[in-house]
């Protein structure tokens, strides 16, 4: 009888000794869980924890990309991140620094790499700045078109990050950490909110024709989260998605026949194996794959866009002479595709401007003016068009547009009038999606070197992005290696409330 | 108490220290829970008063910290028809309480497929299945298990599980993502260890302290690659932080892997859930304090790999480094053969009187060969003239000449390279440019940041013998940079000509790098495995580097026209337009590191006689003249003009040459043999261990009190006895130093049978992989954030058995696999059970198993008949599509080409590059190598379907599968289908499936023909059936039955 009693005891213990995650999962998923779930969910605790249990150690198959409720009603439903890879300069674009201009050529002692100070010459901007719109936000003449929509922009001028190097900087901007192995922002959004449209990937990345960013796919990796949350690399040319198109020369009917036969045989297999929800899930994943073959090309097909729209996005602008320039066509096309993807329910689109190394990207060591001459015209019309287009379609208010790089640049000269990396004070702007339009927040010092007024770490930017998307960065956690991981890391982070409308 | 402490107790009645843990953000939810649920489960223990480092007795009561109990199987629990087995006894106890009973045994066919997938990760052949089904002996199953445990495939399957835990990768990650030298040896060690049934305690000790053992072996040193296979940033923002990040990686992975504890949180503060005070973290870190960091400073912002920290020569029992001995012997043979060749060529070249060029050069060579003081006037004149005529002076930015220490204009001091090099000293390094630029040379000190030139030269005699020419730091970038001119940017162009003798090695050694302004160090010229390689942004161009031969190399960079590499007079050219990522105006000759004698140095381990650098591209004619001059000067005519000599060979000489060349080729192969070399390993930083401090909030710049290496407080907190470990004479000969002995002490503690965690954690891991879920479902977290064991007594029984059986893992496999629970059917449909225990926690049936990413790929290869079962070695590079390569900032960088046969090796041999992952593996949940993965998630997403249907690999293999069927049963569709089913699923198709298959073949064939005809393309019936069969094979690979094993 011992054997009957003792396990009974441990049985009851089992429930209370299971980890809180597993316990909550059981409660939430099981019979008696509803009331408790409701109580706990008031602070979103259940949602995040049960969620982790579901995806990492599911006993029953749960679609990792199933749509999930936000923690609260977010102002933005979707997000497009225009990543200026290489690190764009603030003082030549949207941050006018009269003091910098005044002191052009003076020699100062400045931190060039962490704790490494050097005597350098101040490099004033060659750009002309004006105030625009009702808001009177500054914009340089590098962006004659973007300057026309400054009233939509919310400029944050006082961000700082933790690293002077591209490798770790890219990773931090995308994952919150300077070390590899953590999930990227898009993964967090997918994990927190799921997919709306299963016929398209929820997290799409588009790259510059000159190459990928440093560290490549690490930047859109899902880290320790399942691969389902990683970004999908979408291509402009050829196959839009890896292995989307059959290699064999086959007709639509032949392919359908293959899918149907697969489904038929899988159904037979399933009938003999009750209680395994992963089997039907896999069967439906083939249907989704099949759908994707038509939905992805459709989303990328610009033939239904009118001529004016294509022109507005800069698709027909002539390519400038500079050898490294690719003109505004690729980025414009990507922005337009981005808008189409967002319309179709894609949650997060990230477009890289700049690829490869140095002047191929915004990495302007070898000449600030040359760098701007290459890259500014490539993005100027497309970004203007994207904002205008989103607005006229009524999408801007619930679409968050984010623009910036892995860090900014130094106010001093390097090589022949170039600028070195600077993570101590740099600029991002956002638009739409619940941010204050025509608003400027924070300042760097008068030269533009370090964040001075309202300095905010990029953790705060990440927290703000999540907030705008309806997610509390404290509650959006993923349990791994003994810790509830957050995009905003273990260090304190706060939403930049001032920029939220 | 043995049973797990209640979760609700966590936030109540804790000591002061524990209370502080409550005030963290992560805890909020927990406090809430405790408040809500606490009363339901009754009172909680009072706080213990006896604290040790803030650990209360309550903390120590946590279930996994209790001694492993020798639990007895509850034999009373008998289920009719189920033979007694200790594991089943434990399971039945729980099943009975839940009112459940085990399922019937799986069929023999299911079992053999299950055991194959589980133990070796490959499907059984139809013949093996038949034999097993027909084997009526009572121990048929045991024999099957034993046979597979003895198979070398076993280690490849189970070794891969281990690699998940230790974040195994073969590159560093981050911007440059450089290869870790010989990381593959660690992978092979793991595979070998499983295959040898190395006892688990030894396996643990070897990985932690294999170099500190009295009976250290090459294998035990390779084992310490454990420390080195994680990611590593060569350009950290803050080097002090990076140092602690590196140690943090080691501390975490050690605690995770061996102890099942998540200690990382305690880096910054007390662990929020487990009784691990912050001090414990640093005490554990202290065991690793003397581990030499992976990198060494090469500039203020960059690290380079430190060979003295991460490489250990593999030494033979007689005390010699095998690689050194083998290489020396082979090189002797090579050099003897080459001497013979040189004699033959020299004779042939000399006979070429009718070749005026050679004749002239030979006269010049004779002149150079005479000591300057003894030269005739004519000879002197000849040398001076030739020097003046052969060396273009315009745009020459740097000229280093070993034979000319004074730097005067007469470069004729009897310059045989060998004698010149032995006398090489700092005096030889002079700026001999005539361009007036400040190109200078310096010695890079190994410790300091960027040294000033004066310091460098002053310390040259004391410093590492590595000379370092840093053009970027010294301003040479300016003369070599093409300055932008308004509107038009002149292309960067330059030429480097050098007389070098490189050691051909399996490690990449750079001779120089360029484009160093932002660290594009992966562009330049280097030597690896007998090849000179130029990486200039496009595809790597390479040319054979004759081992230990002096040769003349010249590289021209002429953007955008291309890059040329000439070794002697063999030129290779990278095609035009394939240098997409080089941007013209920023081209700099950044670093010119010339390390020529540093033993084990990363850079060129060889010798350098002369270097000329031009800020323009030398024309072919100029290059030829220069090459001829240098060949004469250094007596290299025979090798440089081997091609021309070849034309002059007579028949007999030709035969001799052929023979010598063949033997050279063989010797080259031996030299490239990767078994020679060094182990990626741990090494320590000298005899004096630096003190370890607790870092306030984990901040590397805020040290607080000093701590000593001490075991975890919750497990007793003993202070270990530490004995310094003297290094063996064998290794000290090669510069390896003695070690602190700290890691050995830690390792011994890990595998002390009294340690309650190590055996439990490993026993649970084995269970986890066999059943798809551990008894503790969080295999690397036995703390409070983990999940409690479903069957704690069983877990203890298994852990005790593991220790009792001398830590032999194969024995434990046998124990687990012979249980009814393991062998029972996964397909049982028991409505009652499904309602009570839908997650199958109590194992009322076996779980259905999805093949891992590796196993899917391997099964496809096995079924197609293409599997190449070669073991070990550096690894293979499956062909990746251009689209995948394009995600890199330099497309294709660091991804090589493997032959088709090589690509068909098992997935564990696929090269693990951190920033470029193989899609089919990644999509099927093969974890990122950046983070340990104790329990892979199993996701199902549509990209998996796309890869399996449309991927090149799958289509290639489907074609091979079809060919296999076609050649076995030509023209017999029925037989082909039957065979296909047997190969893919281990069973015959039933009638309905056969009908479906035949219809499929017929319909697809027809459609294919129709489609071809519509396009007016000629077709044959045979083509249609080939197409249809291939399509059918691809479909089989995609079926659930292929990727799920019952």
The CA distance from B500 to B571, in Å, is 16
Q: What is the mean pLDDT of residues A361-384?
A: 95
Minimum-distance CB partner of A64 among B517, B939, B952: B939
Compute how many other C-beta atoms are within 10 angstroms of the C-beta atom of residue A98: 10
The CA distance from A491 to B697, in Å, is 10
pLDDT > 90? residue B674:
no
Query: Which residues 867-886 of chain B have a CB within 8 Å of chain A?
Result: 881, 883-884, 886
- pLDDT tens readout for residues B292-340: 999 988 777 888 888 889 999 998 888 888 777 787 788 788 778 877 8
The CA distance from B884 to A232, in Å, is 11
> In the numeric block, which tokens belong to residue B696?
């306030």
* Band of pLDDT at residue B524, cut at 50, 70 and 90: low
Minimum-distance CB partner of A181 among B786, B888, B930: B930
The CA distance from A240 to A242, in Å, is 7
Helix axes B183-195, B152-165, angle to 10 degrees: 120
Contacts 24+ apart (CB under 8 A), B967-975: B971/B1025, B973/B997, B973/B998, B973/B1001, B973/B1025, B973/B1029, B974/B998
Question: Is A216 in Cβ contact with B916 (below 8 Å)?
Answer: yes
Among A111-115, B433-437, B615-619, whose mean pLDDT is lowest? B433-437
- pLDDT tens readout for residues A461-492: 999 999 999 999 999 999 888 888 999 998 99
Nearest to B266 by CA among B698, B715, B864, B615: B698
Q: Which pLDDT value is given to residue B631?
A: 87
Question: Is B826 in Cβ contact with A357 (below 8 Å)?
Answer: no
Cβ-contact A349, A342 below 8 angstroms: yes
For residue A416, list chain B residues with Cβ-Cβ distance below 8 A.
Answer: 481, 483-484
Report the Cα B267 to chain-centroid distance in Å.
Answer: 28
pLDDT > 60? residue B442:
no
Residue of B239, B832, B950, B980 to mutate, testing the A interface (most A Cβ within 10 Å of its Cβ): B950
Q: Which pLDDT value is given to residue B672?
A: 63
Q: Which pLDDT value is given to residue A51?
A: 37
Query: Which residues 112-131 of chain A have a CB within 8 Å of chain B?
Result: 113-116
> In the numeric block, which tokens belong to residue A466?
């999540």
pLDDT > 60? residue B464:
no
Minimum-distance CB partner of B7 among A16, A360, A365: A16
Question: Is A211 in Cβ contact with B3 (below 8 Å)?
Answer: no
pLDDT > 70? residue B596:
no
Nearest to B8 by CA among B46, B51, B40: B40
Query: Which residues 345-404 of chain A have a CB within 8 Å of chain B?
Result: 355-360, 363, 365-367, 370
Residue located via tokens 């926690």: B841
* Band of pLDDT at residue B539, cut at 50, 70 and 90: low
pLDDT > 50? residue B173:
yes
Q: Could you tell me the sign of the dihedral formed by the alpha carbons of B85, B98, B118, B797, in that order?
A: negative
Residue located via tokens 């297999």: A269
pLDDT > 60? residue B436:
no
Ramachandran class of B436: left when φ > 0, alpha when ψ lies in -120 to 50, beta otherwise: left
pLDDT > 90? residue B806:
yes
Residue located via tokens 């915004």: A362
Residue ranges with strand state E in B708-814: none
Residue A438 DSSP code? T
Q: Which pLDDT value is given to residue B194?
A: 98
pLDDT > 70? residue A73:
yes
For residue A406, the distance in angstroms to the closest alpha carbon of chain B comes to 13
pLDDT > 90? residue B514:
no
pLDDT > 90? residue A168:
yes
Query: Helices then strands (H, E): number in chain A?
Result: 13, 19
Cβ-contact A78, A398 below 8 angstroms: yes
Let me know how long chain B is. Answer: 1046
pLDDT > 90? residue B344:
no
Q: What are phi and psi of B707, to 5 degrees?
A: -125, 160
Determine whether B260 is exposed, middle or buried from the number of CB atoms within 10 Å of its CB (0-12, 13-18, 19+): buried
pLDDT > 70? residue B280:
yes
> In the numeric block, which tokens belong to residue B966?
């076609």
B297 touches chain A (CB under 8 A): no
For residue A362, the distance in angstroms to the closest alpha carbon of chain B comes to 13
The CA distance from B853 to B466, in Å, is 45
Strand partners, B564: B556, B573
Nearest to A172 by CA among A187, A185, A155, A157: A185
pLDDT > 80? residue B811:
yes
* Band of pLDDT at residue B391, cut at 50, 70 and 90: confident
Determine whether B1013 is exposed, middle or buried from the number of CB atoms within 10 Å of its CB (0-12, 13-18, 19+): exposed
B32 touches chain A (CB under 8 A): yes
The CA distance from B583 to B587, in Å, is 7
Let me know how long chain A is. Answer: 501
* Band of pLDDT at residue B43, cut at 50, 70 and 90: very low
Residue B461 DSSP code? T
Q: Which pLDDT value is given to residue B235?
A: 93
B262 touches chain A (CB under 8 A): yes
The CA distance from B664 to B655, in Å, is 14
The CA distance from B46 to B63, in Å, is 17
B1027 touches chain A (CB under 8 A): yes
Terminal-residue alpha carbon distance, chain A: 67
Residue located via tokens 């590499």: B565
Among A157-171, B16-30, B138-152, B561-575, whose mean pLDDT is lowest? B16-30
Closest-CA residue of chain B to A171: B174
The CA distance from B396 to B541, in Å, is 25
- pLDDT tens readout for residues B142-159: 999 999 999 999 999 999
Minimum-distance CB partner of A57 among B585, B935, B1044: B935
- pLDDT tens readout for residues A384-437: 999 999 999 999 999 999 999 999 999 999 877 899 999 999 999 999 999 999
The CA distance from B338 to B661, in Å, is 9
The CA distance from B806 to A338, in Å, is 61
Residue of B928, B954, B1042 to mutate, testing the A interface (most A Cβ within 10 Å of its Cβ): B928
Cβ-contact B544, B617 below 8 angstroms: no
The CA distance from B259 to B240, in Å, is 28
Minimum-distance CB partner of A57 among B97, B777, B884: B777
Q: What Rg do the C-alpha atoms of chain B give, in angstroms? A: 34
Q: Which pLDDT value is given to residue B608?
A: 61
Question: When comparing pLDDT for A191 and B58, which is higher?
Answer: A191
Question: When comparing pLDDT for B486 and B396, which is higher?
Answer: B396
A224 touches chain B (CB under 8 A): yes
Residue B256 DSSP code? I
Cβ-contact B297, B303 below 8 angstroms: yes
Q: What is the mean pLDDT of residues B476-482?
A: 33
Compute how many other C-beta atoms are within 10 angstroms of the C-beta atom of residue A193: 25
Compute how many other C-beta atoms are within 10 angstroms of the C-beta atom of residue B361: 22
Among A45-49, B119-123, B699-703, B824-828, whose mean pLDDT is lowest? A45-49
Q: Which pLDDT value is given to residue B669?
A: 72
A209 touches chain B (CB under 8 A): no
Residue B954 DSSP code? H
> In the numeric block, which tokens belong to residue B338?
């080459």
pLDDT > 50? residue B103:
yes
Nearest to A324 by CA among B328, B585, B617, B660: B585
Average pLDDT, chain A: 87
pLDDT > 50? residue B478:
no
Nearest to B944 by CA among B932, B934, B933, B954: B954
B891 touches chain A (CB under 8 A): yes
Ramachandran class of B829: left when φ > 0, alpha when ψ lies in -120 to 50, beta otherwise: beta
Compute how many other C-beta atoms are within 10 angstroms of the C-beta atom of residue B758: 25
Please state whether the predicted TM-score (pTM) of the whole model is above 0.80. Answer: no
Average pLDDT, chain B: 79
ipTM: 0.85
For residue A253, the distance in angstroms to the closest alpha carbon of chain B comes to 8
Assign B768 to helix, strand or coil.
helix
Strands A348-353 and A78-84: parallel
């Amino acid at each position: 009888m011992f054997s009957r009693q003792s396990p009974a005891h441990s049985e009851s213990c089992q429930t209370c000794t299971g980890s809180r995650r597993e316990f909550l999962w059981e409660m939430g998923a099981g019979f008696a869980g509803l009331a408790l779930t409701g109580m706990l969910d008031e602070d979103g605790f259940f949602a995040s924890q049960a969620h982790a249990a579901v995806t990492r150690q599911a006993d029953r198959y749960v679609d990792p990309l199933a749509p999930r409720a936000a923690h609260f009603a977010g102002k933005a439903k979707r997000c497009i991140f225009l990543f200026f890879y290489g690190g764009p300069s603030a003082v030549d674009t949207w941050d006018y620094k009269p003091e910098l201009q005044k002191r052009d050529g003076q020699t100062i002692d400045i931190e060039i790499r962490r704790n490494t100070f050097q005597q350098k010459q101040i490099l004033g901007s060659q750009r002309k700045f004006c105030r625009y719109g009702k808001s009177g936000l500054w914009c340089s003449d590098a962006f004659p078109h973007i300057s026309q929509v400054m009233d939509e922009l919310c400029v944050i001028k006082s961000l700082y990050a933790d690293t002077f190097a591209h490798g770790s900087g890219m990773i931090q901007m995308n994952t919150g950490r300077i070390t590899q192995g953590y999930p990227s922002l898009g993964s967090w959004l997918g994990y927190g909110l799921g997919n709306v449209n299963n016929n398209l990937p929820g997290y799409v990345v588009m790259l510059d024709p000159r190459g990928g960013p440093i560290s490549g796919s690490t930047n859109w990796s899902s880290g320790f989260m399942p691969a389902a949350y990683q970004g999908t690399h979408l291509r402009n040319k050829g196959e839009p998605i890896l292995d989307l198109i059959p290699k064999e020369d086959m007709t639509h009917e032949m392919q359908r026949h293959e899918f149907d036969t697969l489904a038929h045989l899988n159904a037979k297999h399933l009938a003999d194996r009750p209680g395994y929800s992963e089997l039907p899930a896999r069967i439906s994943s083939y249907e989704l794959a099949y759908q994707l073959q038509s939905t992805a090309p459709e989303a990328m097909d610009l033939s239904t866009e009118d001529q004016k729209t294509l022109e507005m996005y800069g698709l027909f602008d002539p390519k400038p002479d500079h050898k490294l320039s690719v003109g505004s066509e690729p980025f414009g096309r990507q922005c337009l595709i981005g808008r189409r993807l967002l319309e179709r329910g894609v949650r997060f689109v990230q477009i890289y401007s700049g690829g490869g190394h140095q002047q191929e990207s915004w990495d302007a060591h070898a000449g600030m003016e040359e760098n701007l001459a290459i890259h500014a015209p490539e993005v100027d019309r497309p970004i203007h068009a994207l904002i205008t287009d989103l607005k006229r379609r009524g999408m801007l208010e619930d679409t968050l547009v984010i623009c910036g790089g892995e860090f900014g640049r130094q106010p001093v000269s390097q090589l022949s009038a170039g600028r070195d990396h600077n993570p101590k004070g740099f600029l991002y702007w956002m638009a739409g999606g619940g941010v204050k339009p025509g608003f400027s927040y924070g300042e760097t010092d008068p030269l533009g070197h370090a964040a001075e007024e309202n300095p905010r770490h990029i953790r705060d930017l990440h927290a703000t992005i999540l907030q705008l998307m309806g997610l509390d960065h404290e509650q959006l956690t993923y349990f791994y290696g003994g810790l509830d991981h957050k995009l905003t890391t273990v260090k304190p982070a706060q939403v930049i409330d001032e920029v939220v409308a | 108490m043995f049973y797990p402490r209640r979760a609700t107790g966590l936030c109540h009645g804790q000591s002061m220290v524990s209370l502080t843990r409550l005030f963290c953000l992560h805890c909020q939810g927990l406090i809430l829970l405790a408040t809500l649920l606490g009363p339901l489960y009754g009172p909680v223990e009072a706080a213990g008063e006896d604290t040790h480092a803030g650990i209360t007795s309550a903390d120590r009561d946590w279930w996994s910290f209790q001694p492993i109990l020798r639990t007895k199987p509850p034999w009373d629990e008998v289920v009719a028809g189920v033979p007694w087995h200790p594991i089943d006894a434990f399971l039945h106890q729980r099943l009975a309480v839940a009112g459940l009973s085990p399922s019937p045994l799986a069929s023999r066919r299911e079992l053999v497929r299950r055991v194959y997938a589980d133990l070796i990760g490959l499907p059984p052949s139809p013949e093996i299945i038949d034999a097993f089904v027909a084997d009526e002996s009572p121990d048929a199953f045991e024999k099957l298990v034993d046979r597979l445990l003895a198979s070398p495939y076993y280690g490849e399957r189970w070794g891969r599980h281990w690699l998940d835990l230790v974040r195994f990768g073969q590159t560093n990650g981050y911007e440059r993502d450089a290869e870790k030298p010989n990381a593959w040896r660690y992978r092979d060690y793991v595979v070998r260890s499983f295959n040898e049934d190395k006892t688990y305690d030894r396996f643990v000790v070897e990985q932690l302290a294999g170099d500190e053992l009295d009976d250290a072996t090459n294998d035990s040193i390779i084992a310490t690659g454990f420390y080195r296979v994680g990611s590593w940033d060569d350009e950290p923002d803050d080097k002090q932080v990076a140092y602690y990040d590196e140690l943090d990686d080691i501390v975490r992975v050690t605690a995770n892997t061996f102890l099942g504890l998540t200690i990382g949180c305690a880096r910054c503060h007390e662990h929020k859930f487990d009784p691990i005070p912050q001090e414990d973290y640093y005490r554990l870190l202290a065991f690793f304090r003397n581990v030499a960091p992976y990198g060494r400073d090469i500039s203020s912002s960059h690290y380079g790999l430190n060979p003295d920290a991460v490489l250990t020569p593999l030494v033979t029992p007689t005390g010699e480094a095998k690689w050194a001995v083998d290489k020396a012997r082979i090189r002797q043979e090579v050099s003897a053969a080459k001497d013979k060749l040189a004699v033959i060529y020299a004779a042939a070249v000399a006979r070429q009187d009718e070749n005026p060029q050679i004749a002239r050069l030979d006269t010049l060579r004779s002149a150079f060969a005479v000591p300057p003081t003894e030269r005739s006037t004519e000879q002197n004149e000849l040398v001076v003239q030739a020097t003046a005529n052969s060396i273009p002076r315009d745009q020459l930015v740097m000229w280093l000449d070993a034979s000319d220490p004074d730097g005067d204009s007469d470069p004729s001091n009897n310059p045989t390279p060998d004698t010149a090099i032995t006398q090489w000293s700092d005096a030889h390094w002079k700026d001999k440019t005539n361009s007036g630029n400040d190109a200078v040379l310096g010695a890079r000190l190994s410790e300091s940041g960027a040294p000033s030139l004066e310091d460098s030269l002053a310390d040259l005699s004391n410093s590492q013998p590595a000379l370092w020419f840093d053009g970027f730091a010294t301003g040479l970038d300016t003369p070599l940079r093409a300055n932008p001119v308004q509107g038009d940017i002149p292309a960067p162009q330059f030429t480097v000509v050098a007389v070098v003798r490189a050691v051909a090695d399996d490690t990449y050694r750079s001779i120089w790098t360029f484009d160093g302004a932002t660290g594009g160090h992966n562009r330049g010229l280097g030597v690896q495995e007998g090849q000179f390689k130029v990486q200039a942004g496009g595809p790597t161009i390479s040319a054979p580097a004759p081992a230990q031969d002096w040769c003349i190399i010249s590289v021209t960079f002429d953007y955008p026209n291309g890059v040329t590499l000439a070794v002697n007079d063999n030129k290779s050219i990278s095609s035009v337009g394939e240098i997409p990522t080089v941007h013209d105006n920023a081209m700099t000759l950044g670093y010119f590191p010339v390390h020529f004698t540093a033993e084990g140095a990363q850079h060129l381990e060889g010798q350098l006689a002369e270097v000329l650098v031009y800020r323009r591209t030398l024309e072919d004619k100029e290059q030829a003249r220069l090459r001829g001059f240098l060949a004469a000067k250094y007596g290299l005519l025979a090798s440089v003009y081997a091609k021309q000599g070849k034309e002059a060979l007579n028949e007999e000489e030709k035969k001799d040459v052929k023979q010598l060349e063949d033997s050279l080729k063989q010797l080259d192969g031996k030299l490239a043999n990767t078994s020679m070399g060094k182990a990626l390993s741990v090494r320590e930083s000298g005899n004096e261990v630096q003190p370890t401090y607790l870092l306030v909030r984990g901040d590397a710049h805020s040290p607080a009190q000093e701590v000593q290496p001490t075991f975890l407080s919750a497990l007793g907190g003993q202070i270990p006895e530490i004995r310094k470990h003297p290094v063996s004479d064998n290794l000290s000969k090669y510069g390896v130093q003695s070690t602190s002995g700290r890691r050995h002490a830690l390792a011994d503690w890990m595998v002390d049978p009294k340690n309650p965690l190590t055996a439990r954690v490993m026993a649970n891991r084995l269970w986890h992989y066999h059943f798809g879920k551990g008894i503790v479902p969080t295999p690397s977290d036995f703390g409070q954030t983990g999940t409690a064991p479903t069957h704690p007594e069983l877990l203890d029984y298994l852990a005790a058995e593991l220790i009792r059986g001398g830590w032999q893992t194969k024995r434990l496999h046998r124990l687990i696999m012979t249980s009814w629970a393991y062998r029972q059917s996964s397909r049982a449909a028991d409505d009652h059970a499904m309602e009570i225990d839908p997650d199958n926690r109590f194992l009322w049936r076996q779980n259905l198993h999805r093949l891992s990413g590796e196993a899917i790929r391997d099964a496809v290869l096995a079924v197609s008949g293409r599997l190449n079962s070669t073991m070990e070695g550096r690894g293979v590079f499956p062909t990746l599509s251009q689209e995948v390569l394009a995600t890199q900032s330099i497309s294709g960088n660091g991804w090589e080409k493997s032959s088709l046969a090589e690509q068909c090796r098992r997935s564990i041999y696929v090269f693990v590059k951190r920033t470029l992952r193989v899609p089919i593996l990644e999509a099927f949940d093969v974890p990122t190598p950046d983070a340990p993965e104790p329990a892979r998630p199993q996701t199902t997403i549509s990209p998996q379907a796309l890869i399996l249907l449309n991927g090149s690999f799958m289509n290639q293999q489907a074609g091979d599968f079809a060919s296999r069927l076609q050649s076995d049963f030509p023209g017999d569709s029925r037989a082909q289908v039957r065979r296909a089913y047997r190969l893919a699923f281990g069973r015959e198709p039933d009638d309905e499936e056969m009908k479906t298959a035949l219809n499929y073949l017929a319909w697809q064939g027809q459609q294919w023909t129709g489609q071809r005809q519509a396009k007016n393309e000629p077709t044959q019936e045979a083509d249609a059936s080939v197409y249809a069969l291939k399509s059918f094979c691809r479909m089989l690979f995609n079926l659930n039955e292929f990727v799920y094993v019952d």
